[in-house]
Structures are given as structure tokens and as C-alpha cells.
Structure 1
Amino acid sequence: MAKALNITPTVLDVLVIGGGQAGLAAGYHLKKTGLTFRIIERAPRVGDSWRSRYDSLVLFTPRHQTALPERPISGDPAGFPRRDEVADYLEDYALAFDLPITLKTAVIKLKRLPTGYFEAVLSSTHRVLAKTVIIAEGTFQKAIIPKEARGLSNKVAQLSVETYRNPRQVPQGPVLVVGDGASGREIAAELAKTHPVQLSSGHKRTLFPERFMGRNIWTWLSMAGFLTAPRKSALGQMMMKMEPIPDRAKSLKALRAMGIDLRPRLISADRETVTFQDKSASTVRTVIWARGYGRQSSWVDVPGSKDLNGNPIHSDGVSPAEGLYYMGRPWQRNWASGLMLGVGADAEFIVAKILASGTIAPTPRSHNIRQQVNK
């Protein structure tokens, strides 16, 4: 039988699953309520979800829009933070606000007991009970590897946006990057300096400039309401369809000028040969899958929380299963939801929903979080 996790009290008001940016934002707002809560994080360190991405990663949002509540990220506000800078910032944030986090622990099963409480079975073989759960596993969970990968020979090295780090780990010879989103374009451009590179695109991308009329484009997007337009609004639906990404000198024309061979959608793979939608084919030595990230939700065993295909159901992060909430999902409420600049507002919204549900009574606290951080 699983042992009870050493948490006081035995039944938490709120269990937060995931200690990335979404989980930390939830923790910040929960700490102001007086509710008992704990954050469970599978990684050894806070911020490891960023440290595990490719070495040269630079965020496309400026520092002044890349921060959690009450604590700006250090450095030039108009500059763009790098991967490790963001990871260290998140670790510092958790320490600064003294958020209760259990590291190196995964939730392997979440279910509802007959008592109405949630039970989370942990990888440590312990279990924890909670009245409410926030699943805050965020955007980058598991790289999508399509079925075509199974057709490749063992002679072809296969990496993904999750496992690629830098050009040194890529064998000499032709490289195919599959997926021309922001990460796919960045990786292809980096590898083009040392390898012959092909980039396979899926559909037409909308690119926007980094600067417009002397100001960062994110300032204009924020002022115009593009970032916070509700998902179901006409503007939100338009942005979801466009899937815009920043240009950063990575337009198809610019990539072609770097010597990158642009190819249409990949449709099949057979040993060392890949075939594209236009029936053209080529031989590859390495394939890097950059088709985004998917989610694993088989561990969530809560009646009424999923559709017939096993996908989580929610409205603005609120599940139809009472007491279950989500954080950090792309387009959870708006475009900003999947970015660090939006998780603070989403966390405030979700915590307000928890308090308004009437199932948990908050305990007033006299201390002020801002004062605590400034000690």
C-alpha cells in the first residue's frame, strides 16, 4: 500500500502538479489565500524543463514580458533572455517566495476517492490527498514523434526538439529538420553552418517583425489586445488560425539564402530515404523532429474530466470535474496563456475560481508576500 506523503495537514486544500512557470504562478497566488498547498515537480531542479531544451534557445518575448508576478527577470528589459537565464530565474522565484515544492517526484496516477478527495499516487510510492488539484504541466511535455519515424533505418540518427542540444551531437552528413515552427527554423539555421540541411514545412506560416515603428512588436500586440483576446472571440480565433511566429531573420527566403534546402511536407520514410508531398525524395543521415509537443493524460483517472478520445476537457482552465483545474495550456484563455507573460493572470483567475467554488474556506494570513521577498 502507498504511504502517506509527509505533508501537514494530511489533506491539502490544493495540490499543484508541475513546478514550471505555470505551477509557480499558481503557487504565488495560492500563498496569498492561506490555503494549504504543495507543488509536485518531477525534475531534480526547478527550471529543468528549460535546461533540457537546445543550448542556443533564446526566447522571442523581451524580458519585461517574460516574468512571473511581482518579480521581474534581471537584465535589459528590452533584451531577450536565454534558456539558462529563464531556468535560473524560475528556480530563484521559487526560493524567493518560499513556495512549497517537492522535487524529483512524478504523479503516476490521479483519481477521485469515494470521499470526494483527490488521491495522487507518486513515483516515490507515497500518496497525497487533496480537496482540489491544479494540473500545471505546461506547454512542453513530450515531443511529438510521428509514425514515419518507425520507417527509418537504425543508420539514421533521430533527435527531437526535446533531445537536440547543439550541432556537435549531430553526425556528419545530410540533416532533415521536420517542422518549420520557431524551434525548427532556429535549429535548421544553426545546423546549416556545419551540415547540409533540409527543412520540411507543413503549412504556410505567418511571420511578424520583431520591431515596428521603433518599438518591440510585443508592445504593439499587447496594446492592441492580441495577447489577451479570448480564445473564442473573433480575434482569438483568427490568431489561433494564423499561428504567428517571430521573423528573427528566419523567413523562408532568409533560410534559403543560408543554403537550407526547403522541402514540402514529409509523407513517408523508408530506411535512409524520405519522401515528400511533391513526390521528391532524398537520403538523410539525421532527422530532427520539430513538430511540437503533445501531452500525456493517461495518468489522470477522474470521471468526467476527458472526452471520448481521452483529451482533457476544460473551459478557461476549469474542468467539468469538480475541483480539477488546468494551468499553462496553449490558448487556455488566450494567446498569452502559453507564454510566461500570461500565466500570472491565468493563475489569478484559477485561484479566484477555486475560492469562489465554495468547497474550500481560505484562512486569512497577516504576512505580505511582497515584504517577504524583500527581506
Structure 2
Amino acid sequence: MEVVDTVVVGAGQAGLAASHELGKRGVDHLVLERDRIGAGWANRWEKFCLVTPNWSVQLPDFPYDGDDPDGFMPRDEIVAYLERYAASFGCPVRTGVDVTAVRRNAGGGFEVEIDGSAVLRARNLVVSTGAYQKPHVLPGSGGLPAHLRGIDISGYTAVADLPEGDVLIVGSGQTGCQLAEELSAAGRTVVLSCGRAPWAPRRIGERDLMWWLIESGFLDVDATTLPPEARLFANVLASGHGGGHDLHYRTLAAQEITLVGRFLGVEGDQARFAPDLAESVAWGDEKFRLLRDHFAGYAATAGIAFPDLPDPEPFEAPVIDSVDLRPFGTLIFTGGFRPDYLSWLPWPEAFDADGFPLQSDGASTVVPGLYFVGLHFMRSRRSALLCGVGDDARVVAVQIAGR
């Protein structure tokens, strides 16, 4: 049986950052990845790009190394960056190996089962499998008409791969809004089922939205002060396409994308929606005002000029409670993701009702030696971001080295 001090599961930005920080402290470790380095990015759709500017990509000892700091890396460039990062410190990674089960060792530590047979023994286990692992399909998504292809975001690659016909997108976070814009620009008629999502301008004055989120301290808020449901809120709506631009309900409506309320389900050839679009828009507008006031307060304290950001214009749209699905070829669910740790970790008592780990600074409060990196809101709002995961990896590595 192979023995190593620490096993890291996952070779995305979180697992690589954890490996870098463990190696820096002399901790013997191994990174296991069932696919390839950066698979979470590599498996996204063809035209995917970062919503955060390149300069904000700050993994430990390896900040963005390209020539377009104010741009937004497309999918393949993100993967290439992570591959360069792994090579920069000789990450001890094994790709194409699947961790199928984990169990406690009677003598302490863990036995990690690989590909259903081989077993590796480790004193510590660091789970870095992404902020979320499985697509969330909303209730009422069954019973689709036979002609309608239903997929979640993991099943979407490019416009050309979709059946002919109109497209219904259920879920209006960053992904849903980006797909709505992409498909509409490709000539498809798009209906977007909307929920509550915050928004802000892509640029405020001469600076990018991300600069304000970082410098104002918004992303550094202690996660323990946030309500648990905040972990499932949509991220602030914006886009990195075309050099970055505003992307929210008003910009989509201006592109003649039909906006409807929350998806209720399908009855025959009719999709049903709640009459709550106006309420969702109002919720997002209130989040905009809160962000605007937070940024303005920071600017006043720092002696920085802050531009006038007026309240948004009134939003007017007809109430649509049903849509005839006969002209539609595809329904895409983009309702976010949920944790899936219990599909391979055997400790239900170590997770809350929503499937999130019970942890403090990344260390399980239930299972000794079990750690997490890349967890959404693990320590702050930036925990799962390319500008923040390194800080969490460092905190976890220090704890492991101290054991």
C-alpha cells in the first residue's frame, strides 16, 4: 500500500494552490485528478470566458503571466495558465485517476480507494473538487414534450450543436445570462426564465467592477457573518466577452430576449412561469444600490473620486405566465450547482442539510485530518475565486504542516 502524508483530490485552481502551499512547507503530498489539470474549466462551453479580469488571477507565486491584464481569458487560456502553474513548481499530480471511495484507517488517517481497487494511505485528506459538483435541476423539470431536448449547462458546448428551434433558458445567473446573449447573437429566439440576481456596471469610473469589489473590502467579509443562504445566491451579473460589458436584465431585454418569471414546470406543450419578474428585477436593483453605496463609502474614505451612478430606469415588461413550447428545440437548465461530497465521502454527519462541509478555516469540525479548499464562502466571499483561493490554501497548508 502506497503511503503519503497528504492526499489532495482535484487539480483545479484550488487543488494546485493547495499543492503549492503544502510543498512550500515541506509536506509530502500527492494530487489526484480523475480528468486533467483544470478540467472544471476545460469542460465548459466553447465560448466561455472569465467574468473577472486577468489581472485578478493571483494564484500563489504565479500571478497572471499574459500580455492582456485588462482582458478576460477564454476557456482554453485558463486551462493553459493552470497547466503552466502546475509545471512552475513541479506539482506532484496524477491525472486520469478517480477517487472512488474514502474510509477512515483504524490506526488514524485515511485509506483512499482509486479506480475501485488500488488503495493509498494518507494522514490528511484535502478535498478540492470545486465549489459545486452537480448541476441543480429545478422541480417541475420533468415531463418535457418529446420534441424538446432538455439539458443542463454541462451538456451545452456550442450553438451549432443544439437542435433547430427556439431556446428556453431556465436560470438567470451569470451562466444563464451569458448563454442568452450568445444564443440571441447567433440568431436564436431566446426566452430566459429569471430569478433573483444582483447586478452592477462592468466599469465604474475608470476602473473595473472587480477592482471595486476587491479594494472596497466587499470580497473580504468574514463568511461567518453571512447568512447560509448567501452560498446559493447568484454572483453579480456582468460579462467578460468583448472586452467586458454590462450584462443584466435590462441589457438582455434591449437585445429582444424575452424575460419571464420563475419556472414552474411544463404542462403539455406549455411552460409555466410565476408572475414575479418585476419582483426579481426590483431585488437586483436593490442589490445594485447597496453595492453602489458601499463603493461610494469606500471612495470617500480613500479620497477617490466616485462617479454619479443614478438609480436604474423603471423596468417595464409584460407579465408572461406561459409560453408555447412547440417552436422550441431546446430547454437549458442553468440553475447553478450543488455540493456532491456525499457521493464518495462516507460522513453525512460532517455536512449540513444543504451538503456543505461543517468546517472552520477549511478544517472539518467533525472528521480530524479532513480539509477543504476552494469551497464557496469557506472563509470569505473570495474563497472560491482565482484572486482568493490561494489565501485559503495557505491557511489549510499551515494547519497540516503544524500537525
TM class, shorter-length: 0.7 to 0.9
CA distance in 1 between counterparts of 2:232 and 2:333 reads: 22
In structure 1, the partner of 2:125 is 133
Matched, 1:198 2:240: no
CA deviation after TM superposition for structure 1 residue 352, in Å: 1.2
CA deviation after TM superposition for structure 1 residue 287, in Å: 0.4
- Decide whether aligned partners of structure 1 residues 241 and 95 sit closer, same or farther in structure 2, where only a CA change above 3 A counts: closer
CA deviation after TM superposition for structure 1 residue 237, in Å: 9.3
Match of 1:86 among 54, 78, 84: 78
- Equivalenced residue count is 347
| 1:95-146 deviation line (CA, Å, top 9, x unaligned) | 2211111111111111112111201111152111100010000125222223
| 1:281-329 deviation line (CA, Å, top 9, x unaligned) | 3313210111111221221014742346755322232101111011101
Match of 2:33 among 37, 41, 54: 41
- Decide whether aligned partners of structure 1 residues 303 and 114 sit closer, same or farther in structure 2, where only a CA change above 3 A counts: farther
CA deviation after TM superposition for structure 1 residue 214, in Å: 0.6
CA distance in 2 between counterparts of 1:308 and 1:252 reads: 32
| 1:39-68 deviation line (CA, Å, top 9, x unaligned) | 01010x212221110111121111111131
CA deviation after TM superposition for structure 1 residue 159, in Å: 2.1
CA distance in 1 between counterparts of 2:57 and 2:178 reads: 20
In structure 2, the partner of 1:281 is 323
Query: In structure 1, the residue corresponding to 2:101 is in which secondary structure?
Result: strand
Query: In structure 1, the residue corresponding to 2:350 is in which secondary structure?
Result: coil
Show the 5 A alignment for 1:1-375. 4=1, 10-43=2-35, 45-73=36-64, 74-123=66-115, 125-193=117-185, 194-203=187-196, 205-233=197-225, 243-246=235-238, 248-278=245-275, 279-283=321-325, 284-298=328-342, 299-302=344-347, 304-307=349-352, 311-320=356-365, 321-356=367-402, 358=403
Contact 2:202 2:246 in 1 (8 A): no
Query: In structure 2, the residue corresponding to 1:184 is in which secondary structure?
Result: helix
| 1:11-42 deviation line (CA, Å, top 9, x unaligned) | 21110011110000000001111111000101
Opposite residue 5 of structure 2, the aligned amino acid is: D
In structure 1, the partner of 2:294 is none
CA deviation after TM superposition for structure 1 residue 355, in Å: 2.5
- Structure 1 runs, 4 residues or longer, greater than 6 Å off: 234-242
In structure 2, the partner of 1:371 is none
Structure with the higher fraction of residues in helix conformation: 2
CA distance in 2 between counterparts of 1:133 and 1:307 reads: 19
Contact 1:226 1:235 in 2 (8 A): no
Contact 1:156 1:286 in 2 (8 A): yes
Opposite residue 43 of structure 2, the aligned amino acid is: S
CA distance in 2 between counterparts of 1:142 and 1:238 reads: 18
In structure 1, the partner of 2:295 is none
- Decide whether aligned partners of structure 1 residues 15 and 51 sit closer, same or farther in structure 2, where only a CA change above 3 A counts: same
| 1:328-350 deviation line (CA, Å, top 9, x unaligned) | 01111111112111111010011
- TM-score scaled to structure 2, two decimals? 0.81
CA distance in 2 between counterparts of 1:143 and 1:163 reads: 10
Opposite residue 329 of structure 2, the aligned amino acid is: R
Opposite residue 55 of structure 2, the aligned amino acid is: H
Contact 1:111 1:302 in 2 (8 A): no
Computed over aligned residues only, the root mean square deviation of the Cα atoms, in angstroms, reads 2.2
CA deviation after TM superposition for structure 1 residue 176, in Å: 0.4
Q: Give ranges in structure 1 of 5+ residues lacking alignment.
A: 5-9, 359-375
Query: In structure 2, the residue corresponding to 1:267 is in which secondary structure?
Result: strand
CA deviation after TM superposition for structure 1 residue 233, in Å: 3.2
CA distance in 2 between counterparts of 1:107 and 1:295 reads: 16
CA deviation after TM superposition for structure 1 residue 272, in Å: 3.9
- TM-score scaled to structure 1, two decimals? 0.86
Contact 1:63 1:75 in 2 (8 A): no
Contact 2:111 2:119 in 1 (8 A): yes
| 1:185-223 deviation line (CA, Å, top 9, x unaligned) | 0101111132111000122x2211122121122222211
Contact 1:178 1:200 in 2 (8 A): yes
Contact 1:25 1:344 in 2 (8 A): yes
Q: Give ranges in structure 2 of 5+ residues lacking alignment.
A: 240-244, 276-320
Opposite residue 331 of structure 2, the aligned amino acid is: V
Query: In structure 2, the residue corresponding to 1:331 is in which secondary structure?
Result: coil
Contact 1:112 1:118 in 2 (8 A): yes
Task: Name the % identity.
Answer: 31
Contact 1:20 1:47 in 2 (8 A): yes
Query: In structure 2, the residue corresponding to 1:285 is in which secondary structure?
Result: strand
